[in-house]
Structure 1
Amino acid sequence: MIFSGKKNEDSTIVELLASSLRKDIAFGTLLPDQKLKLNELRSRYGGSNHSMRETLRILSSEGLVEGAAQRGFRVTSATEDDLRDIQLVRQEIESIALSRAIALGDVAWEGQVVAAHHALQKAEAAVATTPDDLTALEWDDACRAFATALIAACDSPRLIDLQRKFFDQSRRFRLALLREGKLNWAARKARQKALLDAVLDRDETTALALLKEEIGADLKA
């Protein structure tokens, strides 16, 4: 059990529960379409019925869990159609956001992107060499940080929120490619460096093309 049910049922507990369930959905511990029963979840993760219901409500709003009247909750499906749709939405949202960031971003934003790229390269080298759960989680976090940094200067909290939501929905597909050994690390390194260079050069056309290619390579149907 991760938490004791005796702890206060405040927002911090719900946030911790949600983080744990997100991770287990991403890593396939909780499978697509798996039913999520409150008693079983409480036994595994802790919390109370109230805190677990609130956690499932949050994950439902993020598209990771689905709820139906009288039928309870289940993990959202992960079909090829789901994958293609997530890829399409990510490419459209992140292209709009990156275009705005390139137009509006300052030197501090450029530094943020450079730092996130550097951290991603270290994480990719580590997980390519030793693909265990720890390096996979650190790599996944670094992928998120780089994607977030690219659009951080877009001056639209709603675009950033949408990017985060659909990035989270894409995690299990990318981690499945990692587990199956289907990621081309050399191609990823070259593409990410080219994307960084295009962003720093404010070459919007090249940057957007590389961004769509990067998202497509992360999410292969």
Structure 2
Amino acid sequence: MGDTIGEVAYRRIRSHIVNGQLLPDHKLKLDRMREVYGASVTTLREILNRLAVEELVTAEGQRGFRVAGVSGAEFHELAALRILLETHALRTSIAQGDIEWEASVVAAHYKLSVAERDLMAAKQGGVDQWVSCDWGFHHATISACGQPVLMKTHSSIFDRFARYHMLAKNFRGQGVVDDHTALRDLVIGRDAKGAVALLTRHIQSGVAHVMGAGHFD
């Protein structure tokens, strides 16, 4: 059975917010959205209320909805939450992951490395594809933790964190490529202490990169 119109519209709107196609504080006009996303006004209201719960949209009472704003303070908080959740899940995955998990990490890293190679060669564009592959790799590294509630919460935090990268609109360069390769090797080598330390530095350097772009207070 196919997805409903509402579910398809929800995924598209959410993706457009995370990927920066709908910018922070953008007024979400229901009549215009009905044309773009092919859903009724009633369905769109339900979707926007759902996204407000995820803190990707702000409800303004009778005045409607806006894309959630951004700030340096929120970005730092999201980074801290990502580190807390992801390092815990990473330790657990390294402790209990099997050979299939290892293979999934290697495969996800290969896909990411191709995206990074292409992005480095082009020197522009393609950041949205990189963010998708980056998510795939980091998700793979923690997928053996066996904690579905943690994984769902991490996914939400990761998307909100990634939105800041998309708004910065530039790639971090060779350093992040090297980080990912080293993280793959530490994970496969079952070096939890080294992997957690590298992951923490990796996320913190991402924050410094985005803040350095000068788009946020």
Q: Kindly indicate whether the alpha-carbon contact (under 8 Å) linking 2:128 and 2:166 is maintained by their aligned counterparts in 1.
A: no
Q: Does 1:95 align with 2:95?
A: no
Q: Secondary structure at the match of 1:70?
A: helix
The equivalent residue for 1:82 is 74
Q: Secondary structure at the match of 2:187?
A: helix
Alpha-carbon distance between aligned partners in 2 of 1:23 and 1:132, rounded to the nearest angstrom? 21
The equivalent residue for 2:193 is 205
In structure 1, the gaps of 5 or more residues are 1-9
The equivalent residue for 1:59 is 51
Which TM-score applies when normalising by structure 1?
0.86
The equivalent residue for 1:142 is 133
1:11 Cα deviation (Å)? Answer: 5.2
The equivalent residue for 1:162 is 153
- Give identity over the alignment, percent: 34
The number of aligned residues is: 208
Q: Secondary structure at the match of 2:4?
A: helix
In structure 2, the gaps of 5 or more residues are 212-217
Q: Kindly indicate whether the alpha-carbon contact (under 8 Å) linking 1:93 and 1:159 is maintained by their aligned counterparts in 2.
A: yes
1:12 pairs with one of 4, 29, 32: 4
The equivalent residue for 1:7 is none
The RMSD of aligned alpha carbons is 1.9
Instruction: Trace 1:180-199 onto structure 2 (pairs within 5 A).
Output: 181=170, 183=172, 185-199=173-187
The equivalent residue for 1:176 is 167
Alpha-carbon distance between aligned partners in 2 of 1:115 and 1:132, rounded to the nearest angstrom? 25
Cα deviations by residue, 1:164-184 (Å, 9 ceiling, x for unpaired)? 10111122211233x2x451x
Q: Kindly indicate whether the alpha-carbon contact (under 8 Å) linking 1:198 and 1:206 is maintained by their aligned counterparts in 2.
A: yes
Q: Does 1:21 align with 2:9?
A: no
1:132 Cα deviation (Å)? Answer: 6.1
Which TM-score applies when normalising by structure 2?
0.88
- 2:39 aligned partner, one-letter code: G
